[in-house]
Chain A
Amino acid sequence: MSYIQLEHISFEYPNQTLALDEVNLNIDKGQKVAVVGENGSGKSSLFLCLCGIHHAQTGRYILDGEEQKCKRKDRNKLFRKVGYVFQDPEVQLFASTVEKDISFGAINAGMKGEALQACMDEVMEMTQTHDLRKKPPHQLSYGQKKRVAIAGVLACKPEVLLLDEPFAWLDNQQKKNTIQVLDHLHEQNKTIIISTHDINFAYEWADKLVVMKEGRVLATGHPQGLLDNEDLLEKAGLEMPLILKLTKKLDLDIRPNTMEEFLRV
Chain B
Amino acid sequence: MFISEKYNFLQAKITQHPFEKFTFFVAFLLGSLLTQNILSPFLVVTCISTFFLYHALSVKALFQIAALPMSFMLVAVLSIICIISQESFEAIYITQIGDYYIGFSQISLDIGIFIIVKAMGAMFAFYFLILTSPIDEIEYLLRKMKLPDLLVELFVLSFRFITILLLFSRQCYLSQKKRMAYRSFSSSIRSLGMLISSVLIKSLIHADFSQQALLNRGYRGEMRFIEIHEPFVLKRSIIALLLMIALVAIGQLRL
Q: In the complex the two chains form, is B218's CB within 8 Å of A97's CB?
A: no
Q: In the complex the two chains form, is A97's CB within 8 Å of B160's CB?
A: no
User: Which one of A23-31, A101-109, A179-187, A250-258 is at the interface?
Assistant: A101-109
Q: In the complex the two chains form, is B224's CB within 8 Å of A104's CB?
A: yes
Residue of B nearest to A92 (CB): B213
Q: In the complex the two chains form, is B217's CB within 8 Å of A152's CB?
A: yes
Q: In the complex the two chains form, is B209's CB within 8 Å of A88's CB?
A: yes
Within the assembled complex, what's the spacing in Å between the Cα atoms of A108 and B12?
29
Find chain A residues with CB under 8 A from B214 CB: 94
Within 8 A of A (CB), among B218-252: 218-220, 223-226, 228
Q: In the complex the two chains form, is B156's CB within 8 Å of A96's CB?
A: yes
Q: In the complex the two chains form, is A97's CB within 8 Å of B134's CB?
A: yes
Q: In the complex the two chains form, is A53's CB within 8 Å of B136's CB?
A: no
Find chain B residues with CB under 8 A from A76 CB: 218, 220
Within the assembled complex, what's the spacing in Å between the Cα atoms of A134 and B223?
18
A156 contacts chain B at the CB level, 8 A cutoff: yes
B55-89 contact mask (Cβ, 8 Å, vs A): 1 or 0: 00000000000000000000000000000000000
Minimum Cβ distance to chain A for residue B134 (Å): 7
Q: In the complex the two chains form, is A96's CB within 8 Å of B215's CB?
A: no
User: Which one of A55-63, A79-87, A224-232 is at the interface?
Assistant: A79-87
Minimum Cβ distance to chain A for residue B25 (Å): 18
Minimum Cβ distance to chain A for residue B168 (Å): 9
Q: In the complex the two chains form, is B206's CB within 8 Å of A53's CB?
A: no
Find chain B residues with CB under 8 A from A107 CB: 224-226
Find chain B residues with CB under 8 A from A197 CB: none
Query: With contacts A103-B225, A104-B224 known, is A79 near B216, CB below 8 A?
Result: yes
A99 contacts chain B at the CB level, 8 A cutoff: yes
Q: In the complex the two chains form, is B218's CB within 8 Å of A137's CB?
A: no
Q: In the complex the two chains form, is A91's CB within 8 Å of B12's CB?
A: no
Find chain B residues with CB under 8 A from A48 CB: 212
Q: In the complex the two chains form, is A95's CB within 8 Å of B217's CB?
A: no
Find chain A residues with CB under 8 A from B156 CB: 94-96
Q: In the complex the two chains form, is A108's CB within 8 Å of B219's CB?
A: yes
The one of B134, B209, B224 that contacts A136, using a Cβ cutoff of 8 Å? B134
Instruction: Determine the interface band of chain B, counting residues with CB < 8 A from chain A.
Output: 20 to 34
The one of A80, A86, A101, A109 that contacts B209, using a Cβ cutoff of 8 Å? A86
Q: How would you classify the secondary structure of chain A's contact residues: helix, strand, loop or mixed? A: helix
Q: In the complex the two chains form, is B220's CB within 8 Å of A53's CB?
A: no
A67 contacts chain B at the CB level, 8 A cutoff: no
Residue of B nearest to A107 (CB): B224
The one of B8, B134, B210 that contacts A91, using a Cβ cutoff of 8 Å? B210
A51 contacts chain B at the CB level, 8 A cutoff: yes
Q: In the complex the two chains form, is A79's CB within 8 Å of B215's CB?
A: yes
A99-135 contact mask (Cβ, 8 Å, vs B): 1 or 0: 1110111011100000011001000000000000010
Minimum Cβ distance to chain B for residue A137 (Å): 7
The one of A94, A120, A139 that contacts B226, using a Cβ cutoff of 8 Å? A120
Minimum Cβ distance to chain A for residue B130 (Å): 13
Q: In the complex the two chains form, is B5's CB within 8 Å of A104's CB?
A: no
Query: With contacts A134-B134, A136-B134, A139-B5 known, is A95 near B218, CB below 8 A?
Result: no
Query: With contacts A51-B216, A94-B156, A138-B164 known, is A104 near B206, CB below 8 A?
Result: no
Q: In the complex the two chains form, is A109's CB within 8 Å of B218's CB?
A: yes
16 residue pairs from A and B, CB less than 8 Å apart: A53-B212, A53-B215, A79-B215, A95-B156, A96-B135, A96-B136, A97-B135, A100-B225, A103-B225, A104-B217, A104-B223, A105-B217, A136-B135, A138-B164, A153-B216, A153-B217
Write the residues of chain B forming the contact surface with A, with a CB cutoff of 8 angstroms: 5, 8, 12, 134-136, 139, 156-157, 159-161, 163-164, 206, 209-210, 212-220, 223-226, 228
Closest 10 CB pairs of A and B: A108-B218, A103-B226, A105-B217, A91-B209, A100-B225, A96-B136, A138-B163, A96-B135, A92-B213, A79-B218
